[in-house]
């Protein structure tokens, strides 16, 4: 049997332009079309053994359009916040006057980005954390936008005050929405559903809870809860998938018992509860008495 062709070392781990690899004699067109290579976007390939992530696709997108900047949800991914998956389009911003090229898997727009809004992240041109947050605030549906900004803040990528300052001076399409979102973000939620719960309560007639409240009993720390009404000793917890981790059930039970011994009652919220907001608000209201 013929031995398989050796993979050129410079093509083993990183995306590459197919035309450049062929011109350099590293591959033939026939080899490029074989099963060894996976096409990420038109004209850009990677070895089939390289795991495809959104960050990898963003790298491929910049090879295809080298004058662009990664923005939006794609920029958030490069800053370490997973707001887009491997199959989602990569958002790129091109300079004004650029020729708009339609490429499957890319979402492109033209806009002037100040030099201060462009950074380097893992060698890629990406919008700054504050510019990324403001872009998300101005284009995503309101609750999703607040959750996205909260995630960026909670991850330590950007400061809430920096986002609000940028939103205050922004102008143009989406700027008013961006200011509303920046005003609603608090950066305390540990997950998007927690942000959704907070916004849902904020739109109701319920009293405003304290986020990430530390419960103390007789001077000793008991637990940190997602939301609390301390004067009524009522806590609200979002019950996510992490509760299925080994040993977590027993820890949850000990924690719940400690809260009850401290005189607290706990309302648990699941993803299913968020699909029936009226029923959830009514349940919280009953717990608050």
Q: Is the dihedral of CA 194, 164, 106, 53 positive or negative?
A: negative
Give one DSSP letter per residue of 135-164, joined into a string: HHHHHS-HHHHHHHHHHHHHTTSS-HHHHH
Domain with CATH 3.40.960.10 in the chain: 192-288
Q: Average of pLDDT values for 27-32? A: 92
Q: Average of pLDDT values for 132-154? A: 96
What is the tens place of the pLDDT at every residue in 213-262? Answer: 999 999 999 999 999 999 999 999 998 654 455 666 678 788 999 999 99
Cβ distance 147 to 195 under 8 Å?
A: yes
* Higher pLDDT pick, 7 / 282: 282
What is the tens place of the pLDDT at every residue in 94-104? Answer: 999 888 778 99
- Three-state SS at 57: helix
What is the tens place of the pLDDT at every residue in 185-194? Answer: 999 998 999 9
- Predicted confidence at residue 5, as pLDDT, reads 56
Cβ distance 143 to 201 under 8 Å?
A: no
Structure tokens belonging to residue 145: 């936008």
- Predicted confidence at residue 246, as pLDDT, reads 61
Residue 209 φ/ψ, nearest 5 degrees? -85, 170
Q: Average of pLDDT values for 59-73? A: 97
- Scanning the chain, the segments in alpha helix (DSSP H) are 18-23, 29-32, 54-64, 72-78, 129-139, 142-154, 160-169, 175-184, 192-202, 248-261, 271-274, 277-288
Residue 191: Cβ-neighbour burial (10 angstroms; 0-12, 13-18, 19+)? middle
% pLDDT > 90, the chain:
84
- Three-state SS at 232: helix
**Which letter does DSSP use for residue 95 in this model?**
P
Cβ distance 101 to 44 under 8 Å?
A: no
Place of tokens 């020729």: 99
Pick the closest to residue 223 from 262, 189, 191, 194 (CA basis). Answer: 262
CA distance 216 to 219: 6
- Predicted confidence at residue 101, as pLDDT, reads 78
Residue 32 in this model has a pLDDT that exceeds 70: yes
Asked if the 192-288 domain carries CATH number 3.40.960.10, the reply is: yes
- Predicted confidence at residue 228, as pLDDT, reads 98
Q: Average of pLDDT values for 26-54? A: 95
């Amino acid at each position: 049997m013929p031995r398989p062709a050796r993979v050129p070392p410079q093509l083993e781990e990183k995306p590459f332009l197919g035309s450049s690899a062929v011109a350099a004699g590293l591959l033939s067109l026939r080899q490029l079309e074989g099963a060894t290579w996976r096409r990420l976007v038109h004209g850009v390939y990677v070895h089939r053994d390289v795991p495809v992530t959104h960050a990898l696709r963003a790298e491929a997108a910049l090879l295809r359009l080298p004058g662009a900047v990664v923005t939006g949800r794609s920029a958030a991914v490069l800053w370490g916040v997973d707001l887009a998956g491997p199959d989602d389009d990569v958002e790129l911003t091109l300079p004004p006057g650029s020729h708009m090229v339609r490429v499957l898997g890319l979402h492109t727009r033209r806009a002037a980005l100040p030099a201060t809004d462009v950074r380097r992240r893992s060698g890629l041109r990406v919008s700054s954390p504050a510019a990324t947050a403001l872009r998300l605030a101005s284009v995503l549906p309101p609750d999703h936008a607040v959750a996205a900004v909260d995630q960026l803040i909670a991850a330590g990528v950007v400061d809430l005050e920096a986002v609000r300052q940028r939103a205050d001076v922004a102008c143009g399409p989406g700027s008013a929405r961006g200011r509303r979102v920046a005003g609603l973000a608090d950066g305390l939620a540990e997950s998007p559903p927690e942000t959704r719960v907070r916004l849902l309560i904020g739109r109701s007639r319920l009293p405003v809870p304290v986020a990430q409240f530390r419960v103390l009993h007789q001077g000793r720390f008991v637990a940190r809860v997602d939301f609390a009404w301390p004067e009524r000793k009522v806590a609200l917890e979002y019950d996510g998938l992490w509760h299925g981790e080994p040993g977590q059930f027993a820890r949850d039970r000990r924690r719940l018992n400690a809260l009850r011994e401290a005189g607290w009652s706990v309302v648990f919220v699941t993803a299913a509860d968020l699909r029936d907001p009226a029923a959830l608000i009514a349940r919280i209201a009953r717990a608050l008495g």
